[in-house]
Amino acid sequence: MKKHRVAVVGCGALAQGAHLPNCRQNPRIELIATCDLDRNTAEKCREQFGASRTETDWRRIVEAKDVDLCILCTHVNLRGEFIIPALESGKPVYTEKPLAPNRSEMIQIVQASRRTGKSVCVGHNRRSGPAVLEFKRLLDKARKTAASFLPSVDRSEGRPVLPEEKGLQLLIRVNDDLRSWKHWVYGDQEGVLFAEMVHFIDLALWFNDAPLVRVFAEGSSRGNFALLLRFADGSITNMHHTMVGHFDYPKELFEATLRNITIAMDQHIEVRQIGLLDEPVQRFFPFSSAPGRSDGQGMQGYMQAVQEQLQGVKSPDDHIRWIGVNKGHAAHLDRFLDHIEGRGPNPCDIEGAVAVNSVALKLLESVRLGLPVAVGPEDWHIP
């Protein structure tokens, strides 16, 4: 088994909550270095996760002879400046999303990857989450299969089919409370619409077969907004994001309808469908952490666990532990290791991430103008 010698650059909440634990638990990884501008943070992570040393200057990581792979976990302010020299030094890079803050930097990263032959994987990890993969499997099956039983409305043979019936209607709802745990929300001009919604834009492009032709955004890019994506075949994806929700309420709900089939993915622990008789109506996926006594499954088990925690709250200052779900972080990194070893595709290469970032930038343009914005191939294709 090949050992990948890894350095993690940026030791904030995401690194400590996902990437560093995943490095420690993955037998294919040897954690060489933790790097952060704050030496105390880097040293704390070195001790906690078993790295060999700490660094405060990312340039030392790029130059290191004992590092084979870099994981970049900083905010979007550090992307091309690190990724390009890392690639030129022979190191593949797993970078957190978004790929880059602007188109020119994206082009430079793509060109560096092509020039060096070294891969970049973007952390759109939900592509590797088990519940999302099941949602995608059912969606692909629904495209090829008429509903297994007639809907309640009469659709007798010979009834004309409307053009609108051939598309996909997709709803993505994100309930969040970013103000309480992401300090950059107050100063980052692009806001959550760019830095966080690329996760869901990526999925919308992945779930839809047709090209995207138009986008519209309404609200505040800092966190309260609705996004609409229109595809060439008439399919529509609606995304609703709130930054003033309760963080312990389930965060993510996807609901797709097509060909009289409805498929839903709820908080990465439950997938539901109606319309495919040879598939179960519900499938459950385990929590990654579920404090408390609840042994229930799916959304019922989730809410039971929340209720158990609430019973222990004595004042508004009491902290409620977050109930963890599997969003694919560990599997996404493991798939990238397979790719580096020549045993599989890149789970999210930079060519695909360019399209995602470009759409996010179009949505920012739309929310600032208050108008729909056209999207074309030239917006994401880099020759």
Q: In tens digits, what is the pLDDT along the chain, a chain of 383 residues?
A: 789 999 999 999 899 999 999 999 999 999 999 999 999 999 999 999 999 999 999 999 999 999 999 999 998 889 999 999 999 999 999 999 999 989 999 999 999 999 999 999 999 999 999 999 999 999 999 998 765 555 566 555 667 778 888 899 999 999 998 666 667 667 777 788 888 899 999 999 999 999 999 999 999 988 899 999 999 999 999 999 999 998 889 999 999 999 889 999 999 999 999 999 899 999 999 988 765 556 778 999 999 888 887 877 777 666 666 788 999 999 999 999 999 999 999 999 999 999 999 999 999 999 999 999 999 988 888 88
4-126, what's its fold? Rossmann fold (3.40.50)
Provide the residue type at 103 as one letter: R
- pTM for the full predicted model: 0.92
Provide the residue type at 181 as one letter: W
Domain ranges in the chain are 4-126, 127-327+357-374
Long-range contact pairs involving 270-277 (C-beta distance under 8 Å, separation at least 24) = 270/131, 270/297, 270/298, 270/299, 271/131, 271/134, 271/135, 271/138, 273/138, 275/142, 275/147, 275/148, 275/149, 276/138, 276/141, 276/142, 276/145, 276/147, 276/148, 277/148, 277/149
**DSSP E strand boundaries for 235-321:** 236-242, 252-258, 261-266, 270-274, 282-284, 287-289
- Say if CB 335 and CB 302 are below 8 A apart: no
Residue 232 per-residue DSSP state? T
* CATH, domain range 127-327+357-374: 3.30.360.10
